[in-house]
C-alpha cells in the first residue's frame, strides 16, 4: 500500500527567526519589510490580529502597532531548509521538495524497511526537525500526494494526521470545494454557481456535467480528486553531489574547547547517520570552523578505508581540530562533512582477525532505527546530553 507524507513547516520564516531570537516567541512578529513591502511570514500571536502572509506591511502595522518586524535573511532560511532536507534523506531516498518549506516523502519502501507504526516514524521525524533545526512542522500522511497535503493542512499548527485508504472518502467529502488542489477563487465561484459547495457535491455530479461546465481536463481532474484518486508520484530529485554534512552555529561565540569538541561529536554522529540512511560510505572528512569575525577555515583528512561509522568520522574530525592548535580563539560555528562518497554496495570492508562479531557498526544501525522511530532523544551518547544554545543547518 502506497504511503505518502507531506511535511509542511509552520510559519517557516517566522519560526526560523524565533529559533534565533526566543524573545520573539510570545509577541506578535512578522518577517518582511518594516514600512514598505509585504508580510512574508507571521507568527501565530500576530495572526490573532489578522496579520497574514502577502499583506502589505503598512496594513499589518495598523492592525497591530506593537508588532515586531524582522528583515528577511534568505541565506539562513536556505541553510535551514537544506538541513531539513538532509533529515528527510535519513528516512527515504524519494523526497520531492515542493518549496523551501514543504516536501513530499514517499514512505512506501521506507516503511517496509523500518517496520513499525507510520505514526511513530512521522513523530520521530517531527521531533528530529524540531531538535536539529528548532522549527515546528505539520505532517500529513495518506495514500496519495493529494490526501497527504490535505491531511497536513488539517494538522496545522504543529500536528500530525494520517488518513488510511479506507477513510479517504469520509475524510474528503465533508470538505469545502476550496480544499481541492488547484481550486482557486475563479473555479470556486463557478462551482458555487452550479450549487456545488462541498467535495461530496462534486463527487455526486456526473463527470460529463463537470466537463461541460469546466472543460474536459479540469472537470475530469476534479471528479477524480473528489473520490481521492490521484496517481501522481513523488518526483524524487537527481542525486546531489556525493557528500553529506552538518553544522552547528553556537548561540554565543565560544572559546570553550570542550564544548566545541562535544558539537564536533554531534555533527559527526549526524553526518554518519545520514550516510548510513543513504547507503553511502566515504574516506574524506572535512572540518570547517567559523570564527567570531566570520572568517572560516577548513581542513580535510583521508581515512584509511571507506566507512560510515560515527566513531571513525569523529576521530578524524577531532584530529583535524587538534591540528589547528587554537589558543582560546572564539568560535561561531563548526561543521563536519564526509565527501567523495560512494555506494556502500561497491565497497568491501576487510575485518581484522581480532574484530568482535558485533561492534560499533551494529550499534550505529540500532541507534539509527531507534532515533527514526522514537525521535532524536530516544538514545544518545552521554556526552551529547550537554546541549548548548545553537542554531543549526546543513553545509
pLDDT tens for 329-364 read 999 889 999 998 988 888 766 555 554 545 667 777
Residue 393 has pLDDT above 50, yes or no: no
Min mean pLDDT across 63-72, 178-187, 197-206 is at 178-187
| pLDDT-derived band at 161, boundaries 50, 70, 90 | very high
User: Tens digit of pLDDT for each residue in 245-261?
Assistant: 888 888 788 999 999 99
Residue 395: pLDDT over 80 = no
Residue 193 pLDDT:
94
The helix (run of H) or strand (run of E) holding residue 275 is helix 257-277
Mean pLDDT of 292-303: 90
What is the per-residue pLDDT for 124? 87
Predicted local confidence at residue 205, as pLDDT: 95
Euclidean distance between CA atoms 373 and 114, whole angstroms: 8
| Residue listed under C-alpha cell 481550486 | 183
Query: Across 65-79, 119-133, 229-243, which has the greatest mean pLDDT?
Result: 65-79
Q: What is the DSSP string of 138-183?
A: EEEEESSHHHHHHHHHHH-SS-EEE--GGGHHHHHTTSBGGGSTT-
Residue range 173-226 forms a domain whose CATH class is mainly alpha
| Residues 94 and 236 sit within 8 Å (Cβ to Cβ) | yes
Nearest in space to 347 (alpha carbons), one of 316, 309, 307: 307
Grid coordinates standing for 160? Answer: 500530525
Name the fold adopted by 1-54+70-162.
Alpha-Beta Plaits (3.30.70)
- Among 17, 102, 263, 395, which one carries the catalytic annotation? 102
pLDDT of residue 264: 95
- DSSP assignment of 172-197, as one string? HTTSBGGGSTT--HHHHHHHHHTT--
Give residue 181's pLDDT band: very low, low, confident or very high (50, 70, 90). Answer: confident
CATH code for the structural domain at 244-393: 3.30.1490.100
Query: Has 102 been annotated as catalytic?
Result: yes
CB-count exposure of residue 139 (10 Å: 0-12, 13-18, 19+): buried
Q: Is 167 exposed, middle or buried (0-12, 13-18, 19+ CB in 10 A)?
A: middle
Residues of the chain with CATH 3.30.70.270: 1-54+70-162
> Is a pLDDT exceeding 80 seen at residue 43?
yes
- Taking 60 as the threshold, does the pLDDT of residue 394 lie above it? no
What is residue 190's predicted lDDT score, i.e. its pLDDT?
93
Annotated binding-site residue numbers: 8, 101
CB under 8 Å to 121, separation ≥6 — which residues? 91, 107, 110, 111, 114, 372, 373
3-state secondary structure 250-272: EEEEECCHHHHHHHHHHHHHHHH
Confidence class for position 391, pLDDT limits 50, 70, 90: very low
The pTM of the full predicted model, rounded to 2 decimals, is 0.72
Q: What is the mean pLDDT of residues 53-82?
A: 93
Q: Binding site for Mg(2+): which residues?
A: 8, 101
Contact 234, 104 (CB under 8 A): yes
Strand, helix or coil at 288? strand
**For 224-249, what is each residue's pLDDT tens digit?**
999 999 999 998 766 555 788 888 88
Give me the pLDDT at residue 346, please: 80
Is the pLDDT score of 186 beyond 50?
Answer: yes
Domain with CATH 1.10.150.20 in the chain: 173-226
Strand bridging mode 4-9 / 102-106:
antiparallel
Average pLDDT, the chain: 87
Q: Which residue has the higher pLDDT, 242 or 25?
A: 25
Query: Distance from first CA to last CA of the chain, Å, rounded?
Result: 35
Amino acid at each position: 500500500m502506497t504511503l505518502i507524507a507531506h511535511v509542511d513547516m509552520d510559519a517557516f520564516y517566522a519560526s526560523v527567526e524565533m529559533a534565533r531570537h526566543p524573545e520573539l516567541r510570545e509577541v506578535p512578529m512578522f518577517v518582511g519589510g518594516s514600512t514598505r513591502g509585504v508580510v512574508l511570514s507571521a507568527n501565530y500571536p500576530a495572526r490573532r490580529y489578522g496579520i497574514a502572509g502577502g499583506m502589505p506591511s503598512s496594513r499589518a502595522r495598523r492592525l497591530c502597532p506593537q508588532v515586531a518586524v524582522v528583515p528577511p535573511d534568505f541565506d539562513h532560511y536556505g541553510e535551514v531548509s537544506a538541513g531539513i532536507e538532509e533529515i528527510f534523506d535519513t528516512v527515504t531516498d524519494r523526497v520531492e521538495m515542493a518549496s523551501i518549506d514543504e516536501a513530499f516523502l514517499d514512505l512506501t519502501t521506507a516503511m517496509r524497511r523500518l517496520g513499525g507504526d507510520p505514526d511513530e516514524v512521522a513523530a520521530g521525524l517531527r521531533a528530529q526537525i524540531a531538535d536539529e533545526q528548532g522549527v515546528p512542522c505539520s505532517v500529513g500522511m495518506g495514500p496519495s500526494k493529494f490526501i497527504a497535503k490535505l491531511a497536513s493542512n488539517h494538522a496545522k499548527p504543529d500536528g500530525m494526521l494520517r488518513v488510511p485508504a479506507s477513510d479517504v472518502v469520509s475524510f474528503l467529502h465533508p470538505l469545502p470545494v476550496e480544499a481541492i488542489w488547484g481550486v482557486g477563487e475563479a473555479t470556486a465561484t463557478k462551482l458555487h454557481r452550479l450549487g456545488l459547495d462541498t467535495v461530496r457535491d462534486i463527487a455526486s455530479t456526473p463527470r460529463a456535467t463537470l466537463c461541460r461546465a469546466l472543460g474536459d481536463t479540469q472537470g475530469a481532474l476534479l471528479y477524480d480528486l473528489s473520490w481521492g484518486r490521484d496517481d501522481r508520484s513523488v518526483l524524487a530529485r537527481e542525486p546531489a553531489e556525493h557528500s553529506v554534512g552538518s553544522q552547528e552555529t553556537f548561540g554565543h561565540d565560544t572559546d570553550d574547547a570542550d564544548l566545541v569538541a562535544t558539537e564536533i561529536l554531534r555533527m559527526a554522529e549526524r553526518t554518519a547517520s545520514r550516510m548510513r540512511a543513504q547507503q553511502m560510505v566515504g574516506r574524506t572528512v572535512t572540518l570547517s570552523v567559523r570564527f567570531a569575525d566570520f572568517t572560516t577555515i577548513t581542513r580535510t583528512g583521508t581515512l584509511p578505508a571507506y566507512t560510515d561509522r560515527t566513531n571513525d568520522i569523529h576521530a578524524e574530525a577531532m584530529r583535524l581540530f587538534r591540528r589547528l592548535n587554537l589558543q582560546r580563539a572564539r568560535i561561531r560555528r563548526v561543521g563536519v562533512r564526509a565527501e567523495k562518497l560512494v555506494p556502500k554496495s561497491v565497497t568491501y570492508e576487510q575485518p581484522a582477525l581480532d574484530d568482535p562479531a558485533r561492534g560499533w557498526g551494529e550499534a550505529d544501525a540500532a541507534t539509527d532505527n531507534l532515533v527514526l522511530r522514537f525521535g532524536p532523544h530516544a538514545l544518545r551518547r552521554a556526552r551529547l546530553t550537554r546541549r548548548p544554545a545553537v542554531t543549526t543547518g546543513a553545509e
